[in-house]
A and B are shown apart, each in its own frame.
Chain A
Amino acid sequence: MNERAITFGPAVNLTGILCEPDEATRRAGVPLVLMLNAGLLHRVGPHRMSVLLARQLAAAGISSLRFDLGGRGDSEASLVTGSDDERVLVDIIEAMDHLEQRGLAHRFVLFGLCAGADNAHLAAVCDTRVAGAVLLDGYGWRTPGYYLHHYLPRMRNARAWIGFVRRLVLQALRSRAESQAAADAARAGMRRPFGERRVVEQELEQLIGRGARLLYVYSGGVEGYYNHRRQFFEMFPHLSKGGYVEVEFYPRADHTYTVASERERMLARVVGWFESRDWGAPRDAPVA
């Protein structure tokens, strides 16, 4: 394995660590993995998650670049004006351009946690060089199954019933706004604005239509909006066929995989997914 620090971008403002396998173990045909910031944390990721993944991928023959978007970690803010999404997109495209121009890769798989997953989705939709994505605690919407998994265990518990009746009485006493605010805060967890489910579904259909592979991994840290493995295919029933989308759910892991055993299990699943996929040529030609 070989790691080197690189800087790139129009103002040489972006910083990352390129991690490559030894030539003897390099796995041909697998796209390079681009690891995105988890929120405001720098490229190392929570509890070194991205570093550990990069080195495990390198041991499996797969290259990666973990880098900081403009203004985060060790990258200076980009000079580009525009919305947050536009600036993020420009930086991710800069990273892919840099690696492609140097002959290091022409296809990519994006890896992101939380806001990193949202950014991975954004870039995957916009650039056909993206052959896949691993999205940790990505988009989610509550389904009937979510409510079933949420309330059913509580209905079997007498103390929960007492609590439920108590809450009903308290809610009746409080102003509607007050109780709504408290309920929202309690349920929020790591929820963030996800936009329209139908729009995301169309974008995912577009990605699968061009042969992209997707691995969605959810943790117990987002039980405010996701609480069982099948929920993804309840949200997007049309995406369950063809094996393009795989879903994993780790209910005992927190949002940042603080516990080593949970982190190791998740990382092993991600590396295994890379190794087991058929990374043949995409259906559409890459963007010129």
Chain B
Amino acid sequence: MNPFHFGPPEALRLGVYHPPRVSRARDAAVLLCAPVAVEYQRTHYALRLLAKQLAASGFHVLRFDYLGTGDSAGEVGDGQYPIWVADVALAARELRSLSGAGTLLVGGLRLGALLALEALAAGALSARAAVLWDPVVSGAEYLDSQLSMDRAARAAMGNHAPAGGEILGMRFPPELRTAIRQASLAALIERAALGSAALVVSERRPEFEALARGMRARWPDARELVAAEPTDWRSLDATYDARLTGPVIRLVADALEALA
């Protein structure tokens, strides 16, 4: 894997490019879009493992940190949501340039799936297909869940007053909260510049069922895959302790391979 910086010199993003295994190299690349905040640190290793599996299967793969997150420049500030959406398109251009691949696939985890679909729906990029992995279906529900965990954390720490607009250690300015709260994956599915898509979920939930129906209405071949082990995205303990397991990572890799 090759870590490198890309983007404008005054606001560099960190990317990690996984070249394909030479003997199996394909004319296809996968852009992986990570979650943010506390889910970013929880899922970093899982996305690395996914990238490694995909590269071993012959894909060019790029992981990256959005502006203001991870090793990328800056801090989370005003106007962050459209910046993150633009980062998806920026990273896709970088991946096409690095790989020269003719086919682009997108894998999005949690908020990363929502941001990827925003970019695809805005026409900032187009892709052969996308795999949505435990995606944030409703921005409002996601934000409420993060706020609920934040309150639990503050209570455990002696009732610190909320400060600086942070949620579980990352700044969420009002503008960002509003943008996330208004986001809906179902609405984006209808407009996304995608040839097909698959949904990989770690447990059956009504919102995933509804999303799968919407996906099949748009793409009749859209698949819904359910992992054997549920991933708890809603409790504070799980946020710090749980690791994503191999079977769900394998499922996502298989789904991307099937769509290539």
Contact = CB atoms under 8 A, between A and B. Distances in A.
A44 B41 contact: yes
Contacts of B169: 46-47, 256-260, 263
A47 B48 contact: no
Given A7-B3, A51-B70, A74-B48, A260 B153 contact: no
Interface in B66-117: 69-71, 73
A4 B48 contact: no
Nearest to B160: A259
A257 B5 CA distance: 28
Nearest to B1: A74
Given A4-B5, A5-B3, A51-B71, A259 B166 contact: yes
A15 interface: yes
Nearest to A263: B169
Contacts of B168: 258
A5 B45 contact: no
Interface in A43-100: 43-44, 46-48, 51, 72-74, 76
A252 B41 contact: no
A246 interface: no
Given A5-B14, A17-B71, A47-B169, A252 B160 contact: yes
A48 B70 contact: yes
A261 to B, nearest CB: 5
Interface in A22-50: 40-44, 46-48
A234 interface: no
A211 interface: no
B158 interface: yes
Nearest to A71: B45
Given A73-B45, A74-B1, A261 B163 contact: yes
Contact of A44 (B5, B16, B70, B157): B70
Contacts of A42: 41, 44-45
A258 B41 contact: no
A43 B44 CA distance: 11
A44 B36 CA distance: 13
B206 interface: no
Interface in A231-256: 252-254, 256
B182 to A, nearest CB: 25
Interface string B13-47: 01010000000000000000000001001001100
Nearest to B169: A47
Given A15-B1, A74-B48, A220 B41 contact: no
B250 interface: no
A3 B163 CA distance: 29
B177 interface: no
Nearest to B48: A74
Interface in B158-194: 158, 160, 163-164, 166, 168-171
Contacts of A40: 45
Contacts of B240: 256
A46 B41 contact: yes
Contacts of B16: 74
Contacts of A72: 45
Contacts of B41: 41-42, 44, 46-47
A142 to B, nearest CB: 21
A42 B16 CA distance: 13
Contacts of B158: 220, 252
A56 to B, nearest CB: 12
B156 interface: yes
A42 B46 CA distance: 12
Given A41-B41, A48-B70, A260-B169, A3 B160 contact: no
A253 B45 CA distance: 26
A199 B96 CA distance: 55
Nearest to B51: A74
A3 B164 contact: no
Nearest to B163: A261
A74 B154 CA distance: 31
B260 interface: no
Contacts of A5: 3-5, 14, 71
Given A5-B4, A51-B70, A258 B164 contact: no
A232 to B, nearest CB: 22
In order of increasing CB-CB distance, the 9 nearest A-B pairs are: A47-B169, A5-B3, A258-B169, A260-B164, A254-B157, A259-B160, A42-B44, A260-B166, A44-B70
22 contacts: A3-B12, A3-B73, A4-B5, A7-B2, A17-B3, A17-B14, A41-B41, A42-B41, A42-B45, A44-B70, A46-B41, A47-B41, A47-B169, A48-B70, A74-B1, A74-B3, A74-B16, A252-B158, A258-B169, A259-B160, A259-B163, A262-B160
